[in-house]
Protein backbone atom coordinates (compact mmCIF):
# COMPACT_ATOMS: atom_id res chain seq x y z
CA UNK A 1 0.00 0.00 0.00
CA UNK A 2 1.39 3.37 -0.93
CA UNK A 3 0.26 6.68 0.54
CA UNK A 4 1.01 9.63 -1.72
CA UNK A 5 2.33 12.67 0.17
CA UNK A 6 0.39 15.92 -0.12
CA UNK A 7 3.62 17.96 0.00
CA UNK A 8 4.67 17.26 -3.56
CA UNK A 9 3.36 15.42 -6.60
CA UNK A 10 6.19 13.14 -7.64
CA UNK A 11 6.56 9.39 -7.87
CA UNK A 12 8.12 9.46 -4.40
CA UNK A 13 5.76 7.69 -2.01
CA UNK A 14 5.57 6.21 1.44
CA UNK A 15 5.40 2.43 1.08
CA UNK A 16 3.88 0.12 3.67
CA UNK A 17 4.80 -3.49 2.92
CA UNK A 18 2.41 -6.23 4.02
CA UNK A 19 2.54 -9.96 3.35
CA UNK A 20 -0.91 -9.97 1.76
CA UNK A 21 -3.22 -7.28 0.36
CA UNK A 22 -6.00 -8.91 2.40
CA UNK A 23 -4.32 -7.50 5.51
CA UNK A 24 -4.98 -3.92 4.37
CA UNK A 25 -7.58 -3.03 6.97
CA UNK A 26 -10.18 -0.30 6.53
CA UNK A 27 -8.47 1.54 9.38
CA UNK A 28 -5.11 1.63 7.52
CA UNK A 29 -6.68 3.35 4.53
CA UNK A 30 -8.78 5.82 6.48
CA UNK A 31 -5.96 6.77 8.85
CA UNK A 32 -3.73 7.49 5.85
CA UNK A 33 -6.33 9.99 4.66
CA UNK A 34 -6.78 11.37 8.17
CA UNK A 35 -3.03 12.06 8.16
CA UNK A 36 -3.58 14.05 4.94
CA UNK A 37 -2.33 11.58 2.32
CA UNK A 38 -3.76 12.72 -1.01
CA UNK A 39 -4.17 9.15 -2.23
CA UNK A 40 -3.79 5.49 -1.26
CA UNK A 41 -2.61 2.84 -3.72
CA UNK A 42 -2.99 -0.89 -2.95
CA UNK A 43 -1.16 -3.50 -5.00
CA UNK A 44 -2.28 -7.12 -4.71
CA UNK A 45 -1.72 -10.47 -6.38
CA UNK A 46 -3.83 -11.19 -9.44
CA UNK A 47 -7.11 -13.05 -8.68
CA UNK A 48 -6.46 -16.77 -8.68
CA UNK A 49 -2.75 -16.29 -7.94
CA UNK A 50 -2.92 -15.64 -4.18
CA UNK A 51 0.00 -17.14 -2.25
CA UNK A 52 -2.33 -18.02 0.63
CA UNK A 53 -5.39 -20.26 0.84
CA UNK A 54 -7.36 -17.30 2.25
CA UNK A 55 -7.33 -15.55 -1.15
CA UNK A 56 -6.84 -12.25 0.62
CA UNK A 57 -6.87 -10.27 -2.62
CA UNK A 58 -10.65 -10.70 -2.70
CA UNK A 59 -10.85 -9.27 0.82
CA UNK A 60 -8.80 -6.32 -0.48
CA UNK A 61 -11.22 -5.92 -3.39
CA UNK A 62 -14.24 -5.92 -1.06
CA UNK A 63 -12.57 -3.45 1.32
CA UNK A 64 -11.72 -1.15 -1.58
CA UNK A 65 -15.31 -1.10 -2.84
CA UNK A 66 -16.62 -0.43 0.67
CA UNK A 67 -14.06 2.29 1.41
CA UNK A 68 -14.84 4.04 -1.87
CA UNK A 69 -18.50 4.15 -0.83
CA UNK A 70 -17.48 5.63 2.54
CA UNK A 71 -15.26 8.24 0.87
CA UNK A 72 -18.01 9.23 -1.54
CA UNK A 73 -20.51 9.53 1.32
CA UNK A 74 -18.32 11.98 3.26
CA UNK A 75 -17.62 14.02 0.13
CA UNK A 76 -14.11 12.76 -0.70
CA UNK A 77 -13.30 11.79 -4.29
CA UNK A 78 -13.25 7.94 -4.33
CA UNK A 79 -10.59 8.00 -7.08
CA UNK A 80 -8.09 8.89 -4.34
CA UNK A 81 -8.13 5.15 -3.51
CA UNK A 82 -6.89 2.69 -6.11
CA UNK A 83 -6.43 -1.09 -6.15
CA UNK A 84 -4.43 -2.81 -8.87
CA UNK A 85 -3.28 -6.39 -9.42
CA UNK A 86 0.51 -6.62 -9.75
CA UNK A 87 2.93 -9.55 -9.52
CA UNK A 88 6.44 -9.26 -8.12
CA UNK A 89 7.84 -9.57 -11.65
CA UNK A 90 5.87 -6.58 -12.96
CA UNK A 91 8.16 -3.77 -11.83
CA UNK A 92 7.63 -1.74 -14.99
CA UNK A 93 3.85 -2.06 -14.69
CA UNK A 94 4.03 -0.93 -11.05
CA UNK A 95 6.04 2.16 -12.00
CA UNK A 96 3.61 3.02 -14.80
CA UNK A 97 0.58 2.62 -12.56
CA UNK A 98 2.12 4.74 -9.79
CA UNK A 99 3.03 7.51 -12.23
CA UNK A 100 -0.49 7.40 -13.66
CA UNK A 101 -1.99 7.52 -10.15
CA UNK A 102 0.17 10.48 -9.12
CA UNK A 103 -0.89 12.42 -12.22
CA UNK A 104 -4.52 11.61 -11.42
CA UNK A 105 -4.06 13.01 -7.93
CA UNK A 106 -2.46 16.11 -9.38
CA UNK A 107 -5.56 16.55 -11.53
CA UNK A 108 -7.88 16.08 -8.52
CA UNK A 109 -5.85 18.38 -6.27
CA UNK A 110 -4.75 18.17 -2.61
CA UNK A 111 -7.03 16.30 -0.21
CA UNK A 112 -9.79 18.61 0.96
CA UNK A 113 -8.96 21.44 -1.40
CA UNK A 114 -9.90 19.28 -4.37
CA UNK A 115 -13.27 18.63 -2.73
CA UNK A 116 -13.84 22.24 -1.64
CA UNK A 117 -13.63 21.18 2.00
CA UNK A 118 -11.72 22.83 4.85
CA UNK A 119 -9.28 20.90 7.01
CA UNK A 120 -11.46 21.00 10.12
CA UNK A 121 -14.49 19.49 8.41
CA UNK A 122 -12.31 16.87 6.74
CA UNK A 123 -10.74 15.85 10.06
CA UNK A 124 -14.10 15.35 11.75
CA UNK A 125 -15.43 13.33 8.84
CA UNK A 126 -12.53 10.86 8.89
CA UNK A 127 -12.51 10.60 12.68
CA UNK A 128 -16.23 9.79 12.60
CA UNK A 129 -15.71 7.03 10.01
CA UNK A 130 -12.76 5.53 11.91
CA UNK A 131 -14.78 5.47 15.14
CA UNK A 132 -17.47 3.51 13.31
CA UNK A 133 -15.13 0.87 11.83
CA UNK A 134 -16.10 -1.98 14.25
CA UNK A 135 -19.77 -1.48 13.34
CA UNK A 136 -18.98 -1.21 9.60
CA UNK A 137 -17.03 -4.49 9.78
CA UNK A 138 -20.00 -6.13 11.49
CA UNK A 139 -22.33 -4.99 8.70
CA UNK A 140 -19.83 -6.17 6.10
CA UNK A 141 -19.51 -9.58 7.73
CA UNK A 142 -23.25 -10.10 8.19
CA UNK A 143 -24.76 -8.39 5.14
CA UNK A 144 -22.10 -7.74 2.49
CA UNK A 145 -20.66 -11.17 1.76
CA UNK A 146 -20.09 -12.03 -1.90
CA UNK A 147 -21.10 -15.67 -2.55
CA UNK A 148 -18.63 -16.26 -5.40
CA UNK A 149 -14.90 -15.43 -5.37
CA UNK A 150 -14.42 -13.74 -8.71
CA UNK A 151 -13.55 -10.16 -9.61
CA UNK A 152 -16.65 -9.87 -11.77
CA UNK A 153 -18.90 -11.08 -8.94
CA UNK A 154 -17.38 -8.58 -6.45
CA UNK A 155 -17.67 -5.66 -8.87
CA UNK A 156 -21.27 -6.55 -9.74
CA UNK A 157 -22.23 -7.11 -6.10
CA UNK A 158 -20.86 -3.82 -4.75
CA UNK A 159 -22.46 -1.75 -7.53
CA UNK A 160 -25.87 -3.40 -7.17
CA UNK A 161 -28.99 -1.53 -6.04
CA UNK A 162 -29.36 -3.94 -3.13
CA UNK A 163 -25.93 -3.13 -1.71
CA UNK A 164 -26.50 0.60 -2.23
CA UNK A 165 -29.74 0.28 -0.27
CA UNK A 166 -28.05 -1.67 2.53
CA UNK A 167 -25.23 0.86 2.68
CA UNK A 168 -27.63 3.80 2.95
CA UNK A 169 -29.89 2.10 5.50
CA UNK A 170 -27.25 0.51 7.73
CA UNK A 171 -24.15 2.68 7.39
CA UNK A 172 -24.73 6.09 5.80
CA UNK A 173 -27.25 7.47 8.32
CA UNK A 174 -25.29 6.15 11.28
CA UNK A 175 -22.12 7.69 9.86
CA UNK A 176 -23.71 11.12 9.47
CA UNK A 177 -24.93 10.98 13.07
CA UNK A 178 -21.42 10.00 14.15
CA UNK A 179 -19.97 13.01 12.34
CA UNK A 180 -22.41 15.34 14.07
CA UNK A 181 -21.60 13.84 17.48
CA UNK A 182 -17.87 14.24 16.83
CA UNK A 183 -18.45 17.94 16.15
CA UNK A 184 -20.64 18.50 19.19
CA UNK A 185 -18.16 16.82 21.53
CA UNK A 186 -15.78 19.64 20.64
CA UNK A 187 -18.25 22.49 21.26
CA UNK A 188 -21.95 23.44 20.92
CA UNK A 189 -22.98 24.46 17.42
CA UNK A 190 -25.99 25.75 15.56
CA UNK A 191 -27.76 23.65 12.92
CA UNK A 192 -26.42 26.04 10.29
CA UNK A 193 -22.82 25.59 11.49
CA UNK A 194 -23.17 21.80 11.48
CA UNK A 195 -24.61 21.93 7.96
CA UNK A 196 -21.76 24.12 6.72
CA UNK A 197 -18.93 22.10 8.27
CA UNK A 198 -20.25 18.72 7.12
CA UNK A 199 -21.61 19.87 3.76
CA UNK A 200 -25.19 18.89 4.60
CA UNK A 201 -28.28 20.80 3.57
CA UNK A 202 -30.11 22.29 6.62
CA UNK A 203 -33.12 19.98 6.35
CA UNK A 204 -30.90 16.90 6.34
CA UNK A 205 -28.94 18.18 9.33
CA UNK A 206 -32.22 18.90 11.18
CA UNK A 207 -33.48 15.38 10.46
CA UNK A 208 -30.37 13.79 11.93
CA UNK A 209 -30.46 16.12 14.94
CA UNK A 210 -34.11 15.27 15.61
CA UNK A 211 -33.35 11.54 15.49
CA UNK A 212 -30.31 12.03 17.75
CA UNK A 213 -32.40 14.08 20.20
CA UNK A 214 -35.02 11.30 20.39
CA UNK A 215 -32.21 8.86 21.16
CA UNK A 216 -30.96 11.13 23.93
CA UNK A 217 -27.66 11.90 22.19
CA UNK A 218 -28.12 15.67 21.76
CA UNK A 219 -30.29 18.46 23.15
CA UNK A 220 -31.05 22.05 22.27
CA UNK A 221 -29.71 24.54 24.81
CA UNK A 222 -32.13 27.48 24.79
CA UNK A 223 -29.81 29.71 26.79
CA UNK A 224 -27.06 29.31 24.14
CA UNK A 225 -29.45 28.85 21.22
CA UNK A 226 -27.17 26.00 20.17
CA UNK A 227 -27.22 22.20 19.90
CA UNK A 228 -25.08 20.42 22.51
CA UNK A 229 -24.07 16.82 23.14
CA UNK A 230 -26.26 15.29 25.85
Domain assignment present for 224: no
Please compute the mean of the pLDDT values over residues 22-41 and round it to a whole number.
91
Q: Determine which helix (DSSP H) or strand (DSSP E) holds 219, and give its type and residue range.
A: strand 218-221
Q: Would you give the DSSP letter of residue 14?
A: E
Domain assignment present for 175: no
Domain assignment present for 151: yes
Domain assignment present for 211: no
Domain assignment present for 186: no
pLDDT confidence tier of residue 133, bands split at 50, 70 and 90 = very high
pLDDT confidence tier of residue 164, bands split at 50, 70 and 90 = very high
Domain assignment present for 137: yes
| Total domains in the fold of the chain | 1
First to last CA, the chain: 40
Domain assignment present for 225: no
| Mean pLDDT comparison of 16-20, 28-32, 144-148, 202-206, highest-scoring range | 28-32
pLDDT confidence tier of residue 11, bands split at 50, 70 and 90 = very low
Domain assignment present for 194: no
Q: What is the domain extent for residue 127?
A: 2-168
Contacts 24+ apart (CB under 8 A), 179-183: 179/74, 179/124, 179/125, 179/128, 180/205, 180/208, 180/209, 180/212, 180/218, 181/128, 181/212, 181/217, 181/218, 181/229, 182/124, 182/127, 182/128, 182/131, 183/124
Residue range 63-102, pLDDT digits in tens: 999 999 999 999 999 999 999 998 878 889 989 999 999 9
Amino acid sequence: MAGVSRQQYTTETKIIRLMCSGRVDLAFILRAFLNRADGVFIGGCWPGECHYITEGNYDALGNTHLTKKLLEHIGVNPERLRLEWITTSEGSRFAELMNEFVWKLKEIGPLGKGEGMDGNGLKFKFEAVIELIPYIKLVEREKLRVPVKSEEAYNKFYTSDEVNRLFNDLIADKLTTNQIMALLREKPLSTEEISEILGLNPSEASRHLNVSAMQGLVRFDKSLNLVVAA
